[in-house]
Structure 1
Amino acid sequence: MRGFLGGMLVVAALAVAVPPAQGAESGINIAIQQTVDGPSNAQRLKVGWVRMFVGWSLGEPAPGQYDAGYLDQLKREADRYRARGVKTLFVVQDTPSWAAGPNGAGPAPPADASTYGRFVAELARVANPAAIEIWNEADSDVFWRGAPDPAGYTSLLQASYQRIKAAAPNVTVVTSGMVGNHYEFLEQMYAAGAAGNFDAVGVHTDTACLLTSPKVYYREPNGRVGRFSFTGYREVHNVMAANGDAAKGVWMTEIGWNTGSRKPNSCRDGAVAGTRAEGVSERTQARFLKLAYRCLAGDPEVRVALWFSLQDVGGGAGFGDHLGLIRKGGKRKPAYKAMREVRNGKIGRTGCGGRSDRSAPSLAVSRPTEGAVFTDGENLPMRVTARDSGTGMRRVELYVDGKRVRTWGGGRVRSSWFGFSSLGYGDHAVEIRALDQAQNETVRRLTVRKVSPSSFGDSAAPSVRWRSFPKRAGASLRLAVVVRDRGAAGLRKITLYVDGVRVRTTKRGDGLWRPRIHLRGSGKHRI
C-alpha cells in the first residue's frame, strides 16, 4: 500500500511472533490524515503491534545531521503504544536529496546503501522500536524507482542488518513488504546474498481492488500458488525453507479488503483497472477479515498480520481510500467488531486452499518394461501407478520418440496406446511423465523394440488343451485350459470366444488359464 507520501508520517499496526497456541497476531495500519486516535483504538481492537512509516529525509536532512525533534517524536509515539501494551514497527523509506542515486530522491534507492544503514541504526538506538522494516514495497516501481532491483535492495538489507543489531540487538529486522506474495523476488534476493541479513520476510496482500475470499486461490503456470492469492505466502515460506530459513516467519505487514465502489468496472488501480468493481461491501469486508485470520491460524509460519488501515482517509475513487475499519467520518464499520473478535490471533483456525508443493510424485511402471519386444498388430500396454501426498495427481503423459502421444487424468493408468501398431520396426524411446497439481514431475524412460513376426524364426503354433469344460448352459461356469508355446516368439495373448463373440482376452505366459463364463440359452454353444 502507498503509505508515505511527501515525507508525511503514517502509522500502522503489526502482529509479532506468536506462541504455538495461537495464530498470527493482529495489527492495524494508521493512514495519512487519520482523525481518530491510534493508541486508544489499537488497545480497543486488542491488537499486538503498530506500524509507523518513517521518512529518512525528515530524520536526516543533511549527512550525519539527525533531526532530534523528529526522532524524539517517533520515540514518543512508540512510548504511547507501549503504554497500552502495543509494540511498534518502523518502516523506513524516502531517500533525502543529499543521498540520492541515479534514480533521484524520494521513492528511490540511495547512491550508497551504507548511508541508509547508518540512519536506521540511529533510529533503532534512539527510538527503540521492537522491529524495523527495511523499505516499503521495494519490488514495486511506485516505491523503488527502477524496480525490480533485487540485487540493489539486497545491498540495502546488508548495509542495515548488522548496524541495527549492533545498535539495538533485540530489534527484529523485517524485509520490505513485497507486493503480493512475491516469492520470485525473494528467490532473487537470496541469489544476491540476502541470507543472514533479516529476521523475517514481509509481504503485502492488500492488492488493488481485491474482491476474492482468502480461501480462493489460483496457480501460476509453473504450478506454484499464485503470487496474488492470499495463501501465496506458503510459497514465500517454501523459498525461505529451501534457503535454510524455515525457522523464520512471514510477516504480513499489510492485509486488507476495501469498501470502495461496487459498480462494474469501477476499479481504477493496478493491472486490473477497468475490469472489475473497486471494492466489496462492508459486511463482506468484515467476513473476509475474520476468515483471513482463521486461515493464518492454521499456518504457524505467518507470525504477524496487520490490517491496512484503521480509518478511511478519502471519499473518492481509489481503493486505497477505503480500506479502513472506520469510515472517514468516524463511524465504525462491521470490520471493526470483527477485528476485536480476532483477539490478537486467539481465533479458531480453518483450512484454506493453495498448498505449496515442491515434491515430485512417486511413479511405478509395470508395463511396458525395459527391452520389451512387440510385433505387428500389437498395442503398447500401459500399467502405471503415480501417487502424490502433496497437492494430488494431475495427469500421466506418454511420450514415444520424443512426441507426446497420450494423456490420462489422475495417477492410475490401465490402458494401451493403439498408435504403436502403426510405428515402424526398430527401437523406440518411451517416456512416461507423472505430474501433480503443482506441476512437479517424475519421469521414467525406457526403450522397447518392434520387430517383424518372421524375425522370431517361429512357425510352430501354440498348443491348447482343455482341462475342464462345461456340459450345460445357464450357470456361471469356470473353464480350465492349458496353453503353451514352445517357439522362440512366446505367447502374445489368449482370447476366448463364445458363439463367435469375444468375451475374454489375457496377455500372459504359458500355463493354466481359468476364465469364468456364463452360457445363455439352451442348445449347443461354440467355445
Structure 2
Amino acid sequence: MPPSPRRRHALRLLPITLISAAILAFAGAGAGAAQAATPALNVSGISPLVLQPALATGAKYIRIFVDWQVLEPDQAGQYPGYKNAPNLGAANLANQYELAVKQINAAGAKPIFVVLGAPGWANGSSADHLVPPTDPEKFASFFARFVQRTGSVGQVAAYEVWNEQDALEFWHGKEDPNAPGNLDRSEWKRYAELLKASYKAADPYAGNAAIIMGATTGNNFDFVSAMYEQGLKGSFDGVAVHTDTACLRFGPDFYVRNGAGGPINQYSFLGYRSVRAVMLANDDAKPQIWMTEVGWSSTNGGPTSCARGSSAGKAPSGVSEAQQAALLTQAFGCMARDPYVAVAAWFTFSDQTMYKLDELNHYGLVNTGLGAKPALAAFKAVVASNGGAPGPCGDFSPPSVRIVSPTPGVGFTTALLVTATATDAADEGVAPAGLTQISYRLEGGEPFYRFNDVKDGDTVTLNWLRAANLADGTHILTVDAKDALGNVASTSVPICKGAKCVMTAVPTKIALPSGRNPSCKKRSCSFKGRLTAPADKALSGRVRVEWQHYAKMRVKSTVPGRKRYVSKWVTFHKGGSAATKPFAFKQKLKRAGKWRVRAYYDGASPLAGTTTKFLAFSVK
C-alpha cells in the first residue's frame, strides 16, 4: 500500500507593512560561478503507475515518503527481513520500495526518501504515528537498515530524517505553553538527538547518498541555528527546506525581513539565504541546501479566500495556471544564482482531490486526470536546461545616500541644520523597491529622527535643536536610507561641537592607495592610507580605524523563554596612529565572514575631521 496522504503545513503570511518596518540589508545573495539546482519532483505514491508519468518529465530525483510504522508495525527487525515477516502488508511494501528504486534508476533518476513516523511499540503505545519515538536509537536502527537495503539495490540521492519536525503538524510533541499552536523548543532538542543517532547509524551504509536534516517548515533558520547549538555540526550532509508556501501569491523575488536589521523571513522564498547565513556563521559551508518542496497552488484566488495563516479570510489564495508556470521558471532562475542550493523538488506532480482545503489540491504540474497544466512544459524546459539559467531575483541593492549639510568638520555651538538626499537602486533586471525612509543617528547609535514615506530623489532637512546639548568635541553623524525591502545605505560625516570648533576649519582627506585595500591573508588583514591637508598646514592628532563584522547578536525577545537574534554590523576592533605619517593598520580578525573597515580623523584645530567610506570584504 502507498504511504498515506499528508496534510500540508500552514503558512503565516506576513503583512506587507512589515517591509517598511525592517532596516538594514541582509546581503545573502549568492556569489561565485552559477550552478543550477537539480530539478526534482514530489509524488503521491510508489506504485509503477504513479512513478511512470512523473519520470516521463525527465526529473532527476523523485521524492517519496517512507513510514516506519508501516514497515515495522509489530516489532523491531521486521524490516528488511520481509520474507519471514509476520505482517504481509509490511513485507509487500518493503519490496515495493526496492522495486521503486530500480524503476527510478532505469529512467536515469534517483529517489529521495523521507523517513518518518513511529509505530506504537516505539512511541509509548500511541496510535498517532507522528508522535516521535521515545528512544531515538530505535528509529536510528530502522533508518540505518532502510538505508543499507535500498542502497544495495540501486542508487539513492538522499535520505531525509523526518519531515517538518520544527512544527506541530509533523512532530506531535509537546506544545509551547506560552505560544499555543507552536511546538515547544524542548522538542527541537529531541529531534537533534534523533538526527545525530540516525546519521551515526546510517552513514557507513549511505555511500554517495546524502543524509540530510529533515525539511523545515518554510526556511526555518532559527531551527537550523538551534541544531548547531545542540552540537549537530557534522551530523548531516545537507539541510532541507520547504517553500511551497500555502496561500502564497507573491513571486520568488519578493521577500520580507524579521524586524529591524533582521534576516529574510522564514516564509519568504528567498529565506533559504538566511538558512545559508546560519550555516556559514557556524563555519559549515560544505553541506548544501535541498529545497525538497517548492510550489505555488493554481487556485487562481478561489473559489474561496485563503483559509490558512494570518491572511485567512482576508486574501485570495494561489495563482493562475499560467502564473504558476511563470513562477516555476523564475524560482529555478533564482536558485541558479546560489550554487549551494543543490536540489529543488516541485510539490507536486499531480493535482489531488483528497484535501478539504481546495488550495492544497492544485499544486500539480498536471490535473487529476493527468492533463498537462502550463507548469508541466515549464518544468520540462527547466529539466532540459539542467536547472535553468540564472535570472533576476530580488532587489538587494541599497539606495544611494548623500549628506548635503553639514560638511565634514563643521563647527557649531547651538542648533545644526542637517540635510540629506537619497535615491533607490536595484539589481540588474529588477525594478527598484522604492525609497521609504531616511533617518539620522549619532555615534553609531539608534536613529534620533526618521523621515518616513520619502520618495526617490527627495531631500529632507532637520533643524536639529538638540545638537546644542552635545558634549564639546568631535562627533560622527550618520544618515541611513532604506528602501521598501529593507536594503539600507549609510554615509557619515564628522561634526565638531563647541567654541573651539567654530573657527574656519581646514579641509582634510584620507587618501587610500589603489589596489587591494584592505588586503588579507586568511584573517590577518592590513589597511593602508594617509591623511592629507593643504601643503601649508601641519598635521596633528590621530587617524583611527574601525573594523566591523556582520554578526548575529542576541537581543531581548518579546516572548518569554524564547531567544531572538538579529544580524547587524558590529564593531569588533579599533585602532589609531599618529596623523603625521602614513598609516598601515594590521588586525587579526576575530571571526570568519563578512567584514568592513573605515578610517576616520577626528580633526585637530584648525584641521577639519574626515572619514572614508566603509570598504567591505570577506574572510574565511
TM over 0.5: yes
Rate the CA distance shift 1:271–1:207 in 2: closer, same or farther, 3 A.
Answer: same
Label 1:426 to 1:23 Cα distance change in 2 as closer, same or farther (>3 A).
closer
- Report 1:486-497 matches (<5 A): none
Task: Output the CA distance in 1 between the equivalents of 2:52 and 2:459.
Answer: 66
Checking the alignment, whether the CA contact within 8 Å between 1:7 and 1:55 is kept in structure 2 is no
2:303 pairs with 1:303? no
Q: Which of 96, 119, 122 is the equivalent residue of 1:99?
A: 122
Do the aligned residues in 1 keep the contact of 2:44 with 2:64 (CA within 8 Å)?
A: no
Correspondent of 1:273 among 298, 312, 317: 312
- CA change 1:381–1:173 in 2 (3 A) is same
- Which amino acid counterpart does residue 39 of structure 2 have in structure 1? S
- List per-residue Cα deviations over 1:295-322 (Å, max 9, x = no partner): 2222211110111111112076432221
Conserved in 2, the CA contact under 8 Å of 1:379 and 1:419?
Answer: yes
Query: Relative to 1, partners in 2 of residues 1:395 and 1:158: Cα closer, same or farther, differing over 3 Å?
Result: farther
SS in 1 for 2:240: strand
Aligned with residue 190 of structure 1, among 210, 213, 228: 228
Other-structure match for 1:351: 392
1:65 aligns with 2:74: no
- The alignment status of 1:322 with 2:365, answered yes or no, reads no
CA shift at 1:224, angstroms? 2.0
For the 8 Å contact 1:399–1:406, the answer to whether it is kept is no
1:204 aligns with 2:242: yes
TM-aligned CA distance change 1:366 to 1:192, over 3 Å: farther
- What is the CA–CA distance in structure 1 between the aligned matches of 2:71 and 2:210, rounded to whole Å? 20
Q: Is the 8 A contact 2:396 2:426 kept in 1?
A: no
Q: Residues 69-121 of structure 1: CA distance to partner in whole angstroms, max 9, x if unpaired? A: 23332111111101111101110111111111598741122111111111110
Give, in angstroms, the shift of residue 388 of structure 1. 12
Match among 380, 384, 405 for residue 340 of structure 1: 380
How far apart, CA to CA, are the structure 2 residues paired with 1:261 and 1:404? 43
Distance 2:474 2:458 in 1: 19
Among residues 102, 108, 114, which one is paired with 1:79 in the alignment? 102
TM-aligned CA distance change 1:35 to 1:58, over 3 Å? closer
What are the residue-to-residue correspondences of 1:81-480 with 2, within 5 Å?
A: 81-100=104-123, 105-128=128-151, 129-146=156-173, 147=183, 148=185, 149-221=187-259, 222-260=261-299, 262-263=301-302, 265-314=304-353, 317-343=357-383, 345-353=386-394, 355=396, 374-375=412-413, 379=416, 395-399=438-442, 404-407=447-450, 418-420=463-465, 423=468, 427=472, 432-433=477-478, 435=480, 449-450=497-498
Structure 1 residues 449 and 162: CA distance shift in structure 2, 3 A: same
Look up the match of 2:43: 30
Counterpart-to-counterpart distance in 1, 2:273 and 2:467: 47
Partner amino acid, structure 1, of 2:212: V
**Secondary structure class of the residue paired with 1:135:** strand
User: Relative to structure 1, is the Cα distance of residues 94 and 151 closer, same or farther in structure 2, using a 3 angstrom cutoff?
Assistant: same
Structure 1 unaligned spans of 5+: 9-19, 459-507, 511-527
Whole-Å separation in 2 of the counterparts to 1:440 and 1:243: 25
Question: Following TM superposition, by how much is the alpha carbon of 1:52 offset from its aligned partner in structure 2, in angstroms?
Answer: 1.0
Alpha-carbon deviation of 1:260? Answer: 2.5
Q: Deviations over 1:114-158 (max 9, x none)?
A: 111111100011111331001011112110123253222211110
Higher deviation after alignment, 216-225 or 427-436: 427-436
Tell me if the contact between 1:205 and 1:230 (Cα under 8 Å) persists in the aligned partners. yes
Distance in structure 2 (CA, Å) of the matches to 1:79 and 1:334: 30
**Could you state the TM-score of these two structures normalised by the residue count of structure 1?**
0.70
Q: What amino acid is the match of 2:54?
A: A
**Contact 2:421-2:457 within 8 A present in 1 as well:** yes
Give the aligned residue type for 1:348.
Answer: A
Change (3 A) 1:424 1:210: closer
Structure 2: segments with no counterpart, 5+ residues: 8-32, 83-90, 174-182, 504-604, 608-620
How far apart, CA to CA, are the structure 1 residues paired with 2:441 and 2:271? 31
CA distance in 2, matches of 1:113, 1:138: 14
Q: Decide whether aligned partners of structure 1 residues 274 and 168 sit closer, same or farther in structure 2, where only a CA change above 3 A counts.
A: same
Q: Secondary structure at the match of 1:97?
A: coil
Q: Deviations over 1:450-487 (max 9, x none)?
A: 4699xx9x9xxxxxxxxxxxxxxxxxxxxxxxxxxxxx
Shift of 1:445: 11
Contact 2:61 2:157 in 1 (8 A): no
Contact kept? 1:218, 1:225, Cα under 8 Å: yes
> 1:205·1:256 contact (CA, 8 Å) conserved in 2?
yes
Letter in 2 for 1:110: P
Structure-2 change in CA distance of 1:380 and 1:257 (3 Å)? closer
Contact 1:396 1:411 (C-alpha < 8 Å) held by counterparts: no
Q: Cα RMSD between the aligned structures?
A: 4.4
**Amino acid aligned to 1:379:** L
Question: Is residue 42 of structure 1 aligned with residue 54 of structure 2?
Answer: yes
User: How many residues matched?
Assistant: 440
Q: For residues 66 and 146 of structure 2, what CA distance do their matches in structure 1 show?
A: 9
Contact residue 23 and residue 298 of structure 1 kept, 8 A:
yes
Which segment is superposed worse, 175-184 or 256-265? 256-265
Change (3 A) 1:332 1:402: closer
What is the TM-score with the length of structure 2 in the denominator? 0.61
C-alpha contact (below 8 Å) 2:62/2:111 kept by paired residues: yes
Counterpart in 1 of 2:29? none
Identity in percent? 29
Q: In 2, Cα distance between the equivalents of 1:428 and 1:337?
A: 67
Range that drifts further, 418-427 or 273-282: 418-427
Of the two, which has the highest radius of gyration?
Answer: 1
Deviation at 1:248, TM superposition (A): 2.2
Shift of 1:6: 7.4
Asked whether the 8 Å contact 2:114–2:162 carries over to 1, the reply is yes
More displaced, 120-129 or 412-421? 412-421
1:245 and 1:410 mapped to 2: Cα distance?
41
Distance 1:415 1:180, change over 3 A: closer
What do the CA deviations read for 1:212-238 (whole angstroms, capped 9, x no partner)?
Answer: 222222222144222222122111111
CA–CA separation in structure 1 for the residues paired with 2:211 and 2:396: 27
For the 8 Å contact 1:24–1:296, the answer to whether it is kept is yes
Query: What's the secondary structure of 1:98's corresponding residue?
Result: coil
Q: Amino acid of the residue matched to residue 78 of structure 2?
A: Y
Pick closer, same or farther for the CA change 1:452–1:123 going to 2, 3 Å. Answer: closer
